[in-house]
Amino acid sequence: MKILKYNFIFLLIFGLSACDPEEFFSPVVELDIPPHTSKLVVAAHFAPNSDSLRVYVSKSYGFLDPKSQSWSDSDTVSGVQVQLFRNDVLWSTFTRGRNAFYTSGKKILSNDASIYRLQVTAPNYATVTATQKVPESVPITKATFTLQGGTEPDGTKVDLYTIEFNDPANDANFYQAEMTHKFKRGNFWDEYDLGLVHFAATGDNGNQNMLTDNAFNGKSYKWLLKPNYWRAQPQTGDTMTVRLMPISKDRYLYNKSRTLQSDAQGNPFAEPVLLYTNLQNGYGFFTISGTYTEKIILF
């Protein structure tokens, strides 16, 4: 056994010594990168009762193209046509506004059960399409605030907000939570959006301020969230407006991929994260959120 072991080591050393050291230990790896075929890049998120609908249209560049690291007005695509179909009937043709944005004065009404299809065309590009249905609105049954009501894994106490609601017993539902802090300091009123983060104590079905009902479909649920006070701690007389917004599965997956990509930046050991897209023949997203419901909490 020892003779076989020594013979193996000898053969290994001999094989390594026979290689060209410059080739064997070279840190340079040559890769054949295929040519990039440019596609349309579309970004559109619609919300019911918005004053206008906006769609951003650009184009993709190859990884080695210097333009992939920058953006300018000259990079916009010529001859773009943006159309929105409602239940397979042309509902609106968008007009070009500033830079690469296209707008429509149409409004999506609350709890509209229609199916919307976005279609973007341009010369020399494949037609880009995506379909969305407006999610069903879900009322908040109760919203509360508890000072120092939560405990982090390291023992740190944090304020805790709860949003209670009854999840519809149908297909998978997805939610996003928002909160606005309105306060008066001196003679001036100020208002800003308060960052909310999923509290780990509720389980593993939350992602930042988003939630999926895969663990409580058709049941009542109490969502625990901790605030991010980046401007001012709440004081007596302040108000908090809590909102529960139903979002589409595509919006949930896109936002989740954005979070994962952000977390991976600067980490040499993290796997690359591709942004989620629901567009056919293009990159980007088309999503529609439902009408939000809200509760006001007084301090």
The residues near 112 (Cβ < 8 Å, ≥ 6 apart) are 48, 134
Indicate whether 18 belongs to any domain.
no
Q: pLDDT (tens digit, 9 = 90+) per residue, 12-22? A: 444 545 555 55
Tell me, yes or no, whether 160 and 267 share the same domain. yes
Q: pLDDT (tens digit, 9 = 90+) per residue, 62-100? A: 766 656 555 555 568 899 999 999 999 999 999 998 888
Tell me, yes or no, whether 200 and 256 share the same domain. yes
Indicate whether 291 belongs to any domain.
yes
Containing structural domain, residue 106: 40-133
State the Cα–Cα distance between residues 87 and 85, nearest whole angstrom: 6
Report CA-CA distances (Å) from 291 to 49, 102, 104, 172, 244. Answer: 8, 23, 19, 17, 9
Indicate whether 186 belongs to any domain.
yes
Tell me, yes or no, whether 280 and 156 share the same domain. yes
- Residue 69: predicted pLDDT: 56
User: Does the predicted TM-score (pTM) go above 0.75?
Assistant: yes
- Residue 245: predicted pLDDT: 93
Name the most confidently modeled range: 68-82, 100-114, 118-132, 264-278.
118-132
Domains contained in the chain, number: 2
Mean pLDDT of the chain: 81
Count other Cβ atoms within 10 Å, centred on residue 197.
15
- Residue 130: predicted pLDDT: 97
Tell me, yes or no, whether 145 and 129 share the same domain. no
Residue where a domain terminates, one of 100, 133, 166: 133
Q: Are 123 and 101 in contact (CB under 8 A)?
A: no
Residue where a domain terminates, one of 112, 133, 154: 133
Question: Residue 198 — very low, low, confident or very high, per pLDDT cuts 50/70/90?
Answer: low
Indicate whether 27 belongs to any domain.
no
- Residue 283: predicted pLDDT: 94
Tell me, yes or no, whether 180 and 238 share the same domain. yes
Mean pLDDT of 35-57: 91
